[in-house]
Amino acid sequence: MVLLLTLMAYMLGNFLPALFIGKRSGKTISSEGSGNPGARNAGRVYGKKAFLLVFLLDGGKGALVVYITGSLDGRPAVELLALAAVMFGHCYPIVHRFKGGKGAAAFIGGFLIFNPLGILPILLGFVLLYPVVKKFTAASVLATIAIVPWSMWLYDGKVAVMSISIVGLLLWTHRSDLHISIEGKRKR
């Protein structure tokens, strides 16, 4: 059952709403802005309403798989495995030649369903990091590291491993945002 849930989550992650949002406008998200089929680029290319719609749909993917997995299996580590799979499917979708988004909205949606209080350490991390980094995306992504000690404290080692995997995926997909922030600090 775990394999089936993981596969289902990955395939749901392959649905990239940003690719469908602007078809009428004649603009293609993959060739406009950053070329990334995620919420931030949809907002950049199509406007605020498109950002919100794509963010909600991508977040909904994460929320849906965690909810279904929690209902069918109930083990926290398996819920996070499903979240990691939907994020991986969003970032590396087989149906789009492995060119997807960065997974942040799917993470937020899924993690809010997994444990809404888990957002608190991330918010605290953001509040501490933003004044130093001065980049919203970089501070947000770096702040997700806070879920690792939080999950170690509340759950078992399997949940901690899954938390590390999810944070690692976010750090990897946002590496260009982090590189820019680090380089910007060195130049000052």
Q: What percent of the chain has pLDDT over 90?
A: 70
Q: How far apart are CA 54 and CA 58, in angstroms?
A: 6
pLDDT at site 27: 81
Task: Give the tens place of pLDDT for each residue, 85-112.
Answer: 999 999 999 998 999 999 999 999 999 9
Helical segments of 33-102, H only:
39-46, 48-72, 76-91
The residue range of the domain holding 163 is: 2-187
Separation of CA 74 from chain center:
22
Kindly state the tokens that stand for 98: 């492995």
- Cβ atoms of 162 and 77 within 8 Å: the answer is yes
Q: How far apart are CA 39 and CA 34, in angstroms?
A: 11
DSSP 179: H
Of the pLDDT bands very low, low, confident and very high (cuts 50, 70, 90), residue 184 is low
Average pLDDT, the chain: 90
Q: Which residue has the higher pLDDT, 134 or 180?
A: 134
- Cβ atoms of 159 and 115 within 8 Å: the answer is no
DSSP 116: G
pLDDT at site 186: 53
Task: Give the tens place of pLDDT for each residue, 126-177.
Answer: 999 999 988 888 899 999 999 999 999 999 899 999 999 999 999 999 998 8
pLDDT at site 35: 84
The neighbour count for residue 70, using CB atoms within 10 Å, is 16
Task: Give the tens place of pLDDT for each residue, 15-55.
Answer: 999 998 877 777 888 888 888 899 989 999 999 999 999 99
Is the pLDDT assigned to residue 185 strictly greater than 70?
no
Of the pLDDT bands very low, low, confident and very high (cuts 50, 70, 90), residue 1 is confident
Domain count, the chain: 1
- Give the mean pLDDT of 170-185: 75
pTM beyond 0.85: the answer is yes
pLDDT at site 26: 77
Q: What are phi and psi for residue 33, nearest 5 degrees?
A: 60, -130
